[in-house]
A and B are shown apart, each in its own frame.
Chain A
Amino acid sequence: MSIALSGVAAAGANPRRRNYARHYWWFVAPCGVVVFATILFPWVFTLFMSVHDWKLGGGRSFIGLANYQRLFTDERFGWAVLRTLYYTALAVVFPMLLGTAAALAFNRKFPLRGLARAIFILPMMATPVAVALVWTMMFHPQLGVLNWLLTSMGLPPSLWVYDANTVIPTLVLVEVWHWTPLVMLIVLGGLASLPVDPYEAAKIDGATPLQVLRHITLPLLAPFLIVALIIRTIDALKAFDTIYVITQGGPGTSSETINIFLYLNAFAYYNMGYASAVVVVFFLIIVALAMLLLWARQHFKDAA
């Protein structure tokens, strides 16, 4: 039907593009339906559920904002928020540093660069569950290869994910391993787009490589670094697969992030209304942090 319609409309039309603008909606419409069904509908329905007491298999009743009220006094949720922020801070800083360093290295030409780069990005393409299984085996306190590595270097063995104090840094280690390549790729894309003039000027002025990095490369890269920072922050906040497979939030609740808390409430306790309120608050936290970083970028741009 849409094809016939646009054919009729186009027959007498002026071929200039702005007259066609309306018809481009027909290209977007089918996808719009899919997006509505899989993305918008769930959103609206989540808002609806979040103001109900809604147990799976049980009845439901309208309770206004009681779920939200409960959430703000729920200590377990409070801890989950703090843990998520702790996890995110670590899981942003290290990939940013390592990813930028890696991008600077991969920006140079050297033999077998393509292969080295492909190996470097393998972690982010690998199936998270499969990788998490291997890490679980490596974290084994008695038989794991990581404790062998520590003791053979003369360091004391660690309990890794089996201790409440080390579990989050250990999970961050997996996250850093997993997602540093994405930061590298974004920064590498930025490096490829840098102008050459400032470098030539610096060469004439006899600047050292470190000065060039500090005063030319990093300032020019700033927009790309901030994009990487925003993407990394969002992804770290949302981390789920590896945490779930390796610890399921344990030991106790010591690695229970917001996402794990959300999962347990929805699909272990079947508290759909309460879980929906968690979804809404979680989303607001993510948006708030992303906006903060965007604002920082604007601020940074104005200052520069």
Chain B
Amino acid sequence: MRRWLGRIGFGASVLVLISPALMVFLWMLSLSLKNELDNTDFPPIFIPNPPVWTNFIAVFERNDFLGQAWNSVVVSFSATGLAVLFGVPAGYGIARMRATRAAVLILIARITPGLSYLIPLFLLFQWIGLTGTLAPIVITHLVITVPIVVWIMMGFFEGLPPELEEAAMVDGATIWQAFWHVAVPLSRPGVTVAVILSFIFSWNNFIFAMVLAGRNSRTLPVAVNNMLTFEQISWGPLAAAALLVTLPVLLLTLLAQKQIIAGLTTGGVKGG
């Protein structure tokens, strides 16, 4: 009896722990599925009856939502791809050399506020006339994605015994062959974690694109923020747009929660 009470109490406390997260996302969903009249009713209506799709249709009809979604996709994939291209070998090199000083640089990048990179890079892009294209946004997103990839891969390769590559080199492989044919295939789980996390944090980034984007190079977070400040539109379409922006990331989190948790725990623990 006492044991059951304890279990019920524990279950209730878990429910209390996850309810703030659940409530906000469910409220977002509820707002996006109700018409304007129901959304501004007080006391609030919680369950859309009947649910309407007009808000989502409005989002796609309004300005260039699909174009902005495409911008977001291009930026996040490019920034993640480039980060893997540069960051995986770097993480390997740092781990094998035990170059802790190089790692400190990555830590400094983690500490520095994103805005501080933006002022000099903004001026630089103006001088070379890149503003208004997607290129400056991709380049600045490297500030986020490269440290994530290097940090995670460094930790991963440190945990990989060097004996395997040494054996390959004894057999005549070059250092590059040992990396490419031995270390890289073994590092696939680490790369997966690094790709997922750097994609998510690039997708979510707001500040770089807000400053650097022109009319045609806005990413989704900037577009959604502009809906709030410039158009003063109603709650339904706003919630629908917000939901569409964050939905890919939420689904990715639910699908890959094991990898994400593994990456964030090691990344976080080593962050100190």
Contact = CB atoms under 8 A, between A and B. Distances in A.
Q: Do A and B come from one complex?
A: yes
Interface of A: 3, 6-7, 10, 15-17, 20-21, 23-28, 30-32, 34-35, 37-39, 41-43, 45-46, 49, 56, 101-102, 105, 108, 110, 114, 116-123, 125-131, 133-138, 142-143, 145, 148, 152, 177, 182, 185-186, 188-190, 192, 224, 226-228, 230-231, 234, 237-238, 240-241, 244-245, 259, 262-263, 266-267, 272, 275-276, 279, 282-283, 286-287, 290, 294, 297
Given A15-B166, A38-B143, A231-B272, A282 B113 contact: yes
29 contacts: A25-B93, A27-B96, A28-B89, A30-B86, A31-B87, A31-B146, A35-B109, A39-B109, A42-B120, A46-B120, A49-B120, A120-B21, A121-B264, A125-B252, A126-B250, A127-B249, A129-B204, A129-B206, A129-B225, A133-B242, A138-B27, A177-B20, A186-B269, A188-B265, A190-B269, A230-B271, A241-B207, A266-B119, A286-B111
A3 B176 CA distance: 7
B250 A122 contact: yes
Nearest to A40: B105
Interface string B118-146: 11111110000000000000011011001
Contacts of B10: 105, 108, 110
B243 interface: yes
Given A15-B169, A120-B18, A38 B142 contact: yes
A87 B264 CA distance: 24
Interface residues of B, number: 98
A190 to B, nearest CB: 7
A245 B228 contact: yes
B34 to A, nearest CB: 12
B165 to A, nearest CB: 8
Contacts of A17: 96, 162, 166
A21 B94 CA distance: 10
Contact of A25 (B97, B118, B206): B97
B5 interface: no
